[in-house]
Chains A and B, each alone.
Chain A
Amino acid sequence: MSGLDQQRSDLLAFTLRLGDDALVLGQRLAEWCSRAPFLEEDLALANTALDFLGRARFLYQYAAEIEGAGRTEDDFAYTRDAGAYRNLLVLELPRGDFAFTMARQFCVDVFDVHYLGALQGSADRRLAAIAGKGLKEAQYHLKRSRAWVLRLGDGTAESRRRLQQALGSLMPYLGELFELDALERRLVDGAVAPDRADLHGSWSAEVGATLEQATVGWPEAPAQPEQRRGGRAGQHTPHLAELLDELQAVTRALPGRTW
């Protein structure tokens, strides 16, 4: 592969990774539609889901252009199996209870604010622009998820217990947010991608401060829990296939239909 081809295929893979991240989390949020604790929260969650869906579309559209092989955003979303998806594992975990959804959202929102902030400075102007739009959304998402973490942690015994349980089940999946493989490392060197590992310090401090304020803190663990990884290599939990079954059901039943 020539240098230029390598650059293009790296950029395509990276754009698809970010698109998959956005689509999968957006779908998990959309699953709350009509099931949220009350009407106002239902609408707010659906709005957040739509922000992620919108981000996924921008990224898939860009991926389609980079690839230039006739595939469209819909092809990326609806015709790939779980093994072809490259999202992070933490995003595909089932939505769980409301505390889990909000705890995950909070961890991801803090990360996104830092990551998209850095991606705004990408040498790739299209990604920088997508990040700029996403950053504004992420700042609002964080306002919401942070308020919920505080409310749940400092709320009733039940809400506190559920939040702590959620944090415990998230912990093994959070390390993957900060890992880079060789492909992403090349893009960091080319100033296209931010270095995820660099964000860990500020992320930890910010999440920790909120958890302290929420009077919960991270669950006590005897040691750092073993980290689960594999999303970027297409090695997923069984939950992703279930998510895609629902997401892709109509396309699979009626391929090529439009409405």
Chain B
Amino acid sequence: MSEQALPLFEVFVRSRRGLDHKHVGSLHAADPEQALQYARDVYTRRGEGVSIWVVRSSDIVASQPADQDSFFEADPEPGLRHAASYKLPDEVDNM
């Protein structure tokens, strides 16, 4: 079996203290179940994670560099779109 023949998967791990899954890398595997096992062995053996997601890299829809300007160009008046002046109530721990 050659590695090139195996599909690529992206791996997301939620760490012990983290609230969300973070992209940690990618790996090759024959199917999603095997990808999950390899993700455990390749990325979480030092106690980094409590939850893993894997997704076929080919299933990710990504923005293209050509769309850079229309997607991401800064708003000339950012103040209206950002909640910078909004005060979080004390009860809200994580935002």
Contact = CB atoms under 8 A, between A and B. Distances in A.
Chains A and B come from one and the same complex: yes
B81 interface: no
Contact of B41 (A37, A38, A43, A151): A43
Interface string A16-58: 0000000000000000000001111101100100000000000
Contacts of B1: 37-38
Interface string A106-140: 00000000000000000000000000000000001
Nearest to A46: B41
A40 B33 contact: no
B50 interface: no
Contacts of B37: 44, 143-144, 147
A144 B37 CA distance: 8
Contacts of B13: none
A47 B3 contact: no
B24 interface: no
Interface string A149-161: 0010000000000
A165 B42 CA distance: 30
Nearest to A47: B41
Contacts of A41: 38
A143 B40 CA distance: 12
A147 B45 contact: no
A236 B75 CA distance: 76
Interface residues of A, number: 13
Contacts of B45: 47
A156 to B, nearest CB: 10
Contacts of B2: 38
A40 B30 contact: no
Nearest to A98: B1
A38 B35 CA distance: 13
B34 interface: yes
Nearest to B39: A40
A147 B28 contact: no
A140 B40 CA distance: 10
Given A38-B28, A147-B33, A147-B34, A44 B3 contact: no
Nearest to B43: A43
A140 B29 CA distance: 17
B30 A151 contact: yes
B86 to A, nearest CB: 45
A147 B35 CA distance: 12
Interface in B1-27: 1-3, 6, 27
B39 to A, nearest CB: 9
Looking at B6, B29, B38, the one whose CB has the most chain A CB atoms below 10 A away is B38
B34 A39 contact: no
A235 B76 CA distance: 82
A168 to B, nearest CB: 23
7 contacts: A37-B1, A38-B1, A39-B27, A41-B38, A43-B41, A44-B37, A147-B37
Which 5 residue pairs across A and B have the least CB separation, nearest first? A44-B41, A40-B38, A38-B3, A47-B41, A37-B1
